[in-house]
């Protein structure tokens, strides 16, 4: 399957029906149909159809998730969009690199392009759940792009990648982010209980460890292996704690 079938557009904390409709239309323009709203800031999306010219099928098939990790749970790869060029220790991809990367990763399963939130962009925590981040280079005069216009640029580039012959699918399906999130939660518990992580600020070290696993491009089977390993470690640690 190529990028056309595998790409999911995730709109985080959408509040404008106009933007939603415009994104649905440009998705249809470039042959993409999977749209997920994550933690929408409103549910009054009636108005969207007005702008979603011939994008109705995108809106009909649209899914809604309570939070970003849930929106990404079925995906093996996600790239988050940000207008900020200063990203603590992360090197942003160019739009072209991101489109190429999405096409490559689509050989392992579903991939996500994350946009939003309309007010202040994606937070560090939200970007942290994305394997990569991308920045659309803009002028200092007006660095911040409208959501639907940023989507137009990125989906045009993804459409071009989608037009290339699809890469042969990987023999093993990639780890779904839902499984990786469960793994992260379990690692957090166990590594706190074993007094490895600092209870005051566990996130930073945990995120680093999680990112290494993302970089390893685990298969779904390997991710489940890790999850089950940490379940056993958890029981072991608990036994140790009650024994002492």
Residues within the interface to a copy of itself (CB under 8 A): 22, 25-26, 28-31, 51, 53-55, 57, 95, 136-139, 141-146, 148-150, 152-153, 156, 159-160, 163
Secondary structure (3-state) at 10: strand
Q: How far is the CB of 8 from a copy of itself (least distance, A)?
A: 17
Give DSSP secondary structure letters for 155-205. Answer: HHHHHHHHHSPPPPPPSSPBPPHHHHHHHHHHHHHHHHHTT-S-TTS-HHH
Q: How far is the CB of 208 from a copy of itself (least distance, A)?
A: 33
Beta bridge partners of 79: 113, 132
User: Do residues 103 and 66 make contact, with C-beta atoms less than 8 angstroms apart?
Assistant: no
Q: How far is the CB of 54 from a copy of itself (least distance, A)?
A: 4
Give whichever of 93 and 191 is closer to a copy of itself, judged by the CB atom: 93
State the DSSP code for 145: P
Give DSSP secondary structure letters for 197-232. Answer: S-TTS-HHHHHHHHHHHHHTT-BHHHHHHHHHHHHH
Q: How far is the CB of 206 from a copy of itself (least distance, A)?
A: 36
Handedness of CA 178, 182, 183, 188 (dihedral sign): positive
Q: How far is the CB of 97 from a copy of itself (least distance, A)?
A: 13
Secondary structure (3-state) at 42: coil
Q: How far is the CB of 156 from a copy of itself (least distance, A)?
A: 4
Give whichever of 156 and 196 is closer to a copy of itself, judged by the CB atom: 156
Biggest CA pair distance of the chain: 66
Other beta carbons within 10 angstroms of residue 149's beta carbon come to 14
Give whichever of 4 and 109 is closer to a copy of itself, judged by the CB atom: 4
**CA 36, 148, 41: angle at the middle one, nearest 5?**
50
Q: How far is the CB of 122 from a copy of itself (least distance, A)?
A: 18
Give whichever of 118 and 222 is closer to a copy of itself, judged by the CB atom: 118
């Amino acid at each position: 399957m190529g990028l056309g079938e595998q790409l999911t557009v995730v709109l985080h904390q959408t509040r404008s029906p106009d933007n939603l409709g415009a994104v649905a239309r440009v998705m249809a323009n470039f042959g993409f149909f999977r749209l997920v709203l994550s933690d929408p800031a409103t549910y009054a999306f009636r108005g969207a159809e007005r702008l979603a010219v011939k994008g109705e099928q995108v809106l009909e098939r649209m899914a809604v998730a309570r939070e970003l990790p849930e929106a990404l749970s079925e995906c093996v790869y996600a790239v988050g969009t940000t207008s900020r060029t200063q990203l603590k220790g992360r090197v942003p991809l160019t739009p072209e690199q991101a489109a190429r990367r999405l096409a490559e990763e689509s050989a392992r399963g579903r991939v996500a392009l994350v946009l939003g939130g309309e007010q202040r962009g994606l937070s560090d925590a939200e970007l942290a759940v994305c394997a990569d981040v991308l920045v659309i280079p803009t002028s200092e005069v007006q660095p911040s792009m409208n959501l639907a216009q940023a989507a137009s640029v990125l989906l045009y580039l993804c459409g071009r990648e989608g037009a290339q012959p699809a890469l042969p699918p990987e023999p093993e399906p990639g780890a779904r982010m839902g499984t990786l999130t469960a793994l992260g939660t379990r690692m957090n518990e166990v590594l706190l209980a074993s007094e490895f992580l600092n209870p005051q600020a566990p996130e930073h070290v945990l995120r680093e460890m999680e990112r290494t696993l993302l970089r390893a491009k685990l298969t779904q089977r390997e991710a489940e292996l890790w999850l089950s390993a940490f379940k056993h470690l958890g029981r072991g640690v608990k036994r140790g704690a009650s024994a002492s």
